[in-house]
């Protein structure tokens, strides 16, 4: 199932049934960093609060929202909007299941602080998540004997425990995910780069695989160039997407319907 809708997501979401979405993977506007073809003239706290409230309504019990977000810097200070959004989501009833980090290399800038190399990925759940398929990465010590390890015991000093068996071939991935960005890294779809703020296809795919099952409904209210939809369909999920800018909507439509 593919359901693509052109319009303002706060208005269009009113037509989505309560508790009908298994997983949302989305990235809202980051304060006033971009204008998105001059369509971002109403991005206020009231707006994003309404959208997050609607996301809680349409999410199934046990469902998850992955909210990928960063903050603008105004007069030398980060706005903190991302934190306010996470706290508002909790006010709406979501649990802050995990605060994950999307690490990527950005272009260097001239400013009196360290370079910005990450964005937040707030994993919000409606109750306890009912689906989690933890991704695993190769273990560098795979096949080696487990050595004795040293651990601190409740502040009472150091104790040791002996490992048994061999180190497994893989280990559960951590909550800092790194991806290459840019052409032929974020995606090989040249048309996607007409959108100013795409995220890597691998990021969307990894979240879809982690928090949903085949046949589930994946949603993106800020569809942009269609990355979440493309990856959801490629791994056997259904998709609902909303985009208000006609140019981006048409790009997403082509990418999703031809993937």
Q: What is the CATH number of the domain that holds 69?
A: 3.40.50.150
Q: Is residue 114 part of a domain?
A: no
> How many CB atoms neighbour CB 79 within 10 A?
16
- What DSSP string runs through 99-143? EEEEE-------SSS----EEEEEEEESSS-S-----EEE-TTTT
CA distances from 125 to 18, 53, 88, 93, 149 (A): 15, 13, 13, 9, 35
Q: Is residue 6 part of a domain?
A: yes
Query: Are the C-beta atoms of 235 and 220 separated by less than 8 Å?
Result: no
Domain count for the chain: 1
Q: Is residue 97 part of a domain?
A: yes
- Can you tell me which residue has the tokens 């497994």? 168
Q: pLDDT tens digits, the chain, 259 residues: what are they?
A: 999 999 999 999 999 999 999 999 999 987 665 555 566 667 888 999 999 999 999 999 999 999 999 888 778 888 899 999 999 999 999 999 999 998 887 666 667 777 777 889 999 999 999 999 999 988 887 777 766 444 454 444 444 444 567 888 888 999 999 887 666 666 655 665 566 567 888 999 999 999 999 999 999 999 988 999 999 999 999 999 999 989 889 988 988 988 7
Q: Is residue 196 part of a domain?
A: yes
Range of the domain at 73: 2-109+120-140+166-257
Measured CA to CA, the distance from residue 66 to residue 97 in angstroms comes to 10
Measured CA to CA, the distance from residue 26 to residue 61 in angstroms comes to 19
C-alpha of 49 from chain center: 18
What's the pTM value of the predicted model, to 2 decimals?
0.84
Q: Is residue 191 part of a domain?
A: yes
Q: Is residue 93 part of a domain?
A: yes
Q: Is residue 132 part of a domain?
A: yes
Q: Is residue 147 part of a domain?
A: no
């Amino acid at each position: 199932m593919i359901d693509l809708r052109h319009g303002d997501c706060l208005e269009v979401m009113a037509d989505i049934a309560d508790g009908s979405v298994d997983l949302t993977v989305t990235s809202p506007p980051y304060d006033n960093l971009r204008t998105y073809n001059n369509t971002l003239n109403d991005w206020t706290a009231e707006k994003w609060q309404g959208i997050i409230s609607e996301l809680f309504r349409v999410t199934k019990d046990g469902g998850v929202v992955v909210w990928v977000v960063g903050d603008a810097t105004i007069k030398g200070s980060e706005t903190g909007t991302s934190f306010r959004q996470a706290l508002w989501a909790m006010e709406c009833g979501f649990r802050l299941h995990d605060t994950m980090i999307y690490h990527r290399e950005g272009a260097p800038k001239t400013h009196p602080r360290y370079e910005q190399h990450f964005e937040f990925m707030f994993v919000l759940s409606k109750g306890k998540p009912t689906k989690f398929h933890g991704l695993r990465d190769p273990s560098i010590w795979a096949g080696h004997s487990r050595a004795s390890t040293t651990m601190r015991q409740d502040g009472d000093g150091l104790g040791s425990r002996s490992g048994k068996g061999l180190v497994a071939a893989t280990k559960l991935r951590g909550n800092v995910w790194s991806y290459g960005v840019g052409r032929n890294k974020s995606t090989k779809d040249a048309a996607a780069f007409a959108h100013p703020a795409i995220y890597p296809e691998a990021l969307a795919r990894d979240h879809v695989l982690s928090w949903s099952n085949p046949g589930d409904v994946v949603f993106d209210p800020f569809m942009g160039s269609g990355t979440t939809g493309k990856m959801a369909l490629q791994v056997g999920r259904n998709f609902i997407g909303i985009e208000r800018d006609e140019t981006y909507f048409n790009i997403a439509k082509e990418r999703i319907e031809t993937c």
